[in-house]
Amino acid sequence: MGYTAPLEDYAFLLHRVMQVQSLGIPGYAELDEGFTAAVLEAAGKIAADVLAPLNTVGDREGCVLENGVVRTPEGFKAAFEQLRAGGWMALDCAAEYGGQGLPYLMHTAVNEAFVSANMALNMYQGLTHGAYSALRAHGTAEQKAYYLPKLASCEWTGTMNLTEPQCGTDLGLIRTRAEAEGEAWRITGTKIFISAGDHDMAENIVHLVLAKAPGGGEGTRGISLFVVPKVLADGTRNAVSVGKLEAKMGIHGSATCVMNYDGAQGWLVGDLHKGMRAMFTMMNEARLGVGCQGYAVAEAAYQAATAYAKDRLQGRMAEGAGPAQPLIVHPDIRRSLMDQKAFIEGARALTFWGASLIDRGHHGDAAAEGLASLLIPVIKGFLTDKGFESTVQAQQIWGGHGYIEDNPASQFVRDARIAMIYEGANGVQALDLVGRKLASDGGKAIRAFLQMILAECQALEGDAAMEPVAKPLKRAAGQLQEALVYFMSVAGQSPQDALAGSTDFLHLMGHVSLGLMWLRMAKAAQGAENIPFLQAKLVTARHFMTRQLPTCALHLARIMAGGETVMALPAEAF
């Protein structure tokens, strides 16, 4: 029941659906089928042969804090060295800093395979990628020259230090302080929930730390961003230490640390008191990466559940005598597997498209950047909500064996759960979408998104083969439009009515987004019904449209119910 990277699906998306070489995005013309196949096959091999066998090891052993240093599970260090030696961490990093200069889309595809194989181990390089991006965008020339080559190679790894015991999302409440000392700063405070805050797999750890410097005022206006290395340039230890290693529900192989800064030396990144702007540079990529985690763990769970359903003998298709048959003959098992398949493949397509929009944005396409910004809360929130739900569905197929730790189902459920929480809990993603993103730039992005869907549906009118896919999507897009009109009608006098429906709107938009992906995939699969892979795409597209997309009506009804029952009770009544 080992993991196998879905290479055929990667190729289908890149070359049949997206047709990447024709998109006109710098670097995409070189992504021919032979090249992408070679890269992704190699990634799939290291995922299956190196990372996946350590997934259970990491879960059972976890990390250990010994004498101030975090020890990772057996085999992690050697596997990390293989990733480093293969240049996998530097896939989309700039060539001038030792990277391979490939588009972010290729990083995303490779990242999916690595997450599916071993989410916990992959997090060490994932956080490093975020630190690299922030320093590349906002660091000084000296900072870039000093840090970026080491981060690109993962000789050094990186972290993001935001959360404190008294504040999570509301970063204006942070208490970590920065005091100037010559060209450097002294950083003092405590940060919690710091993924990869310490470990034994790299020579140095580069912390990006939000702190308040004098003169910045209250709230987020006073926040600055600092780079604080574990080891200073002269080889001495900086005044940063691990106060505690968290015991977590899942991703046990990923070190989640309490970090204490006791006057540690740090250097300002970007402008003073503009730390939030610098930190948000990496948020779109980080949140897309978490959305990828949502469906990537679901993919691994789906593969294990499918193998079990084909092997496990249980009951018969029809009443009467005869030998027991595999679970997969039963309609309810098929329903569950089809729901998982439709979600995962739609989520993959949405994430790949989102990555291509980020690539466009990197090259100055403001419209693509705006659309990516609109979709990020959906990719992060919807894909992790549904990804967790999908792992639970996969666990259910195992029956009682899914609840036993000798089998993999429990770990998938436990690991997937965190993706709904970190990088902004999903309720916050929904509030961001409804409260900020919809109205951003006068609502230009959401209007463009709806126009795109309607145009693609209308282009298929009269196509008998595509109508079963296009008609339901057009109807769902209309329901999304109804929700927007409702929000506009209540936003002025009763914003609580709009915000009470924010999670339902995020899911409504998520279903519509996946519907658009299935429209594109079905269109790309037309005319090849004799090819089993493409025939499966057409069937799965119809399944999504008939069994999943109708959920949009439920979400719309909830949205239009407003917030009266949500907000009616006084706090003491709970």
| Tokens, residue 380 | 């992060």
> Which residues lie across from 223 on neighbouring strands?
212
218 within 8 A of 35, measured Cβ to Cβ: no
Half-sphere exposure of 346 (CA within 13 A, CB side): 33
Other CB atoms within a 10 A radius of the CB of residue 574 amount to 5
DSSP letters for 110-128: HHHHHHHHHHHHHHHHHHH
232 within 8 A of 238, measured Cβ to Cβ: yes
Burial class (CB in 10 A: 0-12, 13-18, 19+), 232: middle
Q: What's the pLDDT score for residue 278?
A: 82
CA proximity to 190, closest of 214, 167, 172, 218: 167
C-beta contacts of 183-186 below 8 A and 24+ residues apart: 183/267, 184/265, 184/266, 184/267, 185/211, 185/213, 185/226, 185/265, 185/266, 185/267, 185/268, 186/263, 186/264, 186/265, 186/266
171 within 8 A of 210, measured Cβ to Cβ: yes
At a CB cut-off of 8 Å and minimum separation 6, what does 127 contact? 157, 158, 159, 160, 195, 196
Class of domain 282-424: mainly alpha
> What is d(CA 570, CA 431) in angstroms, rounded to the nearest whole number?
22
pLDDT (tens digit, 9 = 90+) per residue, 167-195?
A: 888 888 899 999 999 999 999 999 999 99
Rg of the chain over Cα atoms, rounded to whole angstroms, equals 24
315 within 8 A of 330, measured Cβ to Cβ: yes
| Tokens, residue 493 | 């006098």
| Tokens, residue 221 | 């206006």
> What is d(CA 441, CA 369) in angstroms, rounded to the nearest whole number?
12
> What is d(CA 350, CA 510) in angstroms, rounded to the nearest whole number?
9
Q: Which amino acid is at 55?
A: N
Distance in Å from the first CA to the final CA of the chain: 45
Burial class (CB in 10 A: 0-12, 13-18, 19+), 284: buried
Domain ranges of the chain: 7-64+71-149, 158-274, 282-424, 427-565
> What is d(CA 265, CA 170) in angstroms, rounded to the nearest whole number?
25
8 is catalytic: no
Q: What's the pLDDT score for residue 216?
A: 85
Rounded to 5 degrees, what angle do the CA atoms 456, 376, 450 make?
25
C-beta contacts of 164-169 below 8 A and 24+ residues apart: 164/189, 164/190, 164/191, 164/192, 165/190, 165/192, 168/425, 169/424, 169/425, 169/428
CATH architecture of the domain covering 158-274 = Beta Barrel (2.40)
Paired sense of beta strands 156-161 and 204-212, if any: parallel
Tens digit of pLDDT per residue, the chain (574 long)?
Answer: 699 999 999 999 999 999 999 999 999 999 999 999 999 999 999 999 999 999 999 999 999 999 999 999 999 999 999 999 999 989 999 999 999 999 999 999 999 999 999 999 999 999 999 999 999 999 999 999 999 999 999 999 999 999 999 988 888 889 999 999 999 999 999 999 999 999 999 999 999 999 999 988 888 888 999 999 999 999 999 999 999 999 999 999 999 999 999 999 999 999 999 998 887 777 888 999 999 999 999 999 999 999 999 999 998 886 666 788 999 999 999 999 999 999 999 999 999 999 999 999 999 999 999 999 999 999 999 999 999 999 999 999 999 999 999 999 999 999 999 999 999 999 999 999 999 999 999 999 999 999 999 999 999 999 999 999 999 999 999 999 999 999 999 988 889 999 999 999 999 999 999 999 999 999 999 987 689 999 999 999 999 999 999 999 999 999 999 999 999 999 999 9
> What is d(CA 152, CA 391) in angstroms, rounded to the nearest whole number?
32
- For the full predicted model, state whether its pTM sits above 0.95: yes
pLDDT (tens digit, 9 = 90+) per residue, 450-463?
A: 999 999 999 999 99
> What is d(CA 17, CA 520) in angstroms, rounded to the nearest whole number?
6
391 within 8 A of 398, measured Cβ to Cβ: no
At a CB cut-off of 8 Å and minimum separation 6, what does 16 contact? 524, 525
CA dihedral angle for residue 513, residue 517, residue 522, residue 525, rounded to 10 degrees: 180
> What is d(CA 419, CA 424) in angstroms, rounded to the nearest whole number?
9
Q: What's the pLDDT score for residue 277?
A: 83
> What is d(CA 210, CA 435) in angstroms, rounded to the nearest whole number?
25
Catalytic position from the list 285, 299, 369, 423: 423
> Which residues lie across from 242 on neighbouring strands?
259
Burial class (CB in 10 A: 0-12, 13-18, 19+), 320: exposed
| CATH fold group of domain 7-64+71-149 | Butyryl-Coa Dehydrogenase, subunit A; domain 1 (1.10.540)
Crossing angle (nearest 10°) for helices 331-362 and 502-525: 90
